[in-house]
Amino acid sequence: MIRIKIHTQILETEGKLLKNERKLLGEIIKNHATNAGLILNVPMVNITIYPNPDFTMLETGEGGYTPSMDWFHIYINPTKKKIELDKIIKNIIPATIYHEMNHVSRWKNTGYGSNLLDVIVTEGLATVFAGEQWKKYKAPWNNYSKKEIIKLLDLLKKRKKSDDKKYNHDEWFYGTGKSPRWTGYKLGSYIIRFFRKNNKNMKWKDIMKINTREIIKKSGIDLK
């Protein structure tokens, strides 16, 4: 068994976390990052925790960002009431860890992606992985109805494909433009769920090495 090295740092901000909150957050991050590292074959990662509400999502009070193959950020809103903050740390942060660790692995293998379909698949992988590993929390971007996904697939098929390399990330994933909020995440989750269904015995560490085109092909979903 490989030994996973987890390096964490909680940044100092005006909205500080209490000592017991910092301790609990550190323990949860280390435990789940270690578990994810073993599954994804990620031997080392640096994790920066930034307690700042301006970087968190309104719906969840947290957020995450992975810029490379050995480093990711976690954002948390320290201004929440204690009962809400405890819930975020205990119930939501574990899912964030699995999501961002999946990104670390993707960076390590194929890269995050340079066009819209790449990123939809990358975010789908991270979302489904987090959902499988941490079932206590159902993320809003990992939840959709059949009627909703049909509309989102239609939106994807009708897009101007020549713009894929210069797509607007905030519009496709956060709904800042014409696309509904979480569009890219939901489409990605839908694709990866079918991929997982068709490739049940494939390990996650091996899935992370497969390129976008092959994943979509093996999902059986027609995006043309």
Per-residue confidence of the chain (224 residues) as pLDDT tens digits?
Answer: 578 999 999 999 988 899 999 999 999 999 999 999 999 999 999 999 999 999 999 999 999 999 999 999 999 999 999 999 999 999 999 999 999 999 999 999 999 999 999 999 999 999 999 999 999 999 999 999 999 999 999 999 999 999 999 999 999 999 999 899 999 999 999 999 999 999 999 999 999 999 999 999 999 999 98
Number of continuous H segments (helices) and E segments (strands) in the chain: 9, 4
The upper half-sphere exposure of residue 55, i.e. CA atoms within 13 Å in the direction of its Cβ, equals 14
Q: What is the pLDDT of residue 15?
A: 82
Cα–Cα distance for residue pair 189/124, rounded to 1 Å: 4
Tokens encoding 46:
């640096």
Separation of first and last alpha carbons in the chain: 43
